[in-house]
Amino acid sequence: MPIKPELLKALNEQTQNIPVAQERWPELAVELDQLRIAAEAALTVHDFDRDPGEFPAVLRSRRT
């Protein structure tokens, strides 16, 4: 289900409190939908034991 502009607006009022122009809410909803789809796609390889903090160590391990 796509993110609704009204939801973002309510979230902003309750939590972030940043100034956002009225006409931006529908655009932001589209942008955030795209990001959420990407995040969902990443879950297909989710590994419960994977620590994001391992990244520098994996970089070093992949040098050869």
Partner 1 sequence: MAQQKPADGLQNLTLCETADLIQSGKVSATEVLQACFAQIDRLDPIHHAFVWQDRESALDRARWLDSVRSRGETVGPLHGVPMAHKDMYYRAGRISGCGSRIRSNEPAKTTATALRKLDGAGAIDLGGLAMVEFAMGPHGFNAHLPRSLNPWDHDRVPCGSSSGSGVAVASRMVYASLGSDTGGSIRCPAAANGVVGCLPTNGLVSRRGAMPMSWSLDCVGPLTRTVKDAARVLKVIAGQDGFDDTPAATPVPDYESGLERPLSGIRVGMPRGYFDQDLHPDVQKAITASLDVFRQAGATLVHVDIPKSFSLCSDLHPLVMKAEGAANHRPWKRTRNAEYSEEVGKRLEAGFFIAAVDYINALQYRVFALEEFTSAAFSHVDALLAPVLPIPTPTLEQTAYSNGPAYLKMVVALTRNTRPINFLGLPALSVTCGFTSDGMPTSFQLIGRPFSEPLLFRLGHRFQMETNIHRAIPKALGA
**Residue 53 CA neighbour count, 13 Å, CB half:** 1
- Distance of CA 64 to CAs 3, 8, 40, Å? 43, 46, 31
Q: Judged by CB under 8 A, does residue 60 bind partner 1? A: yes
- CA 41/CA 39 separation, integer angstroms: 5
Site string for partner 1, 5-44 (x = CB under 8 A): ---x--xx---xxxxx---x--xx--xx-xxxxxx-xxx-
Least separation in angstroms between residue 7's CB and partner 1 is 9
Residues of this chain that interact with partner 1 (CB under 8 A) are 8, 11-12, 16-20, 24, 27-28, 31-32, 34-39, 41-43, 45-47, 50-52, 54-56, 58-60, 62-64
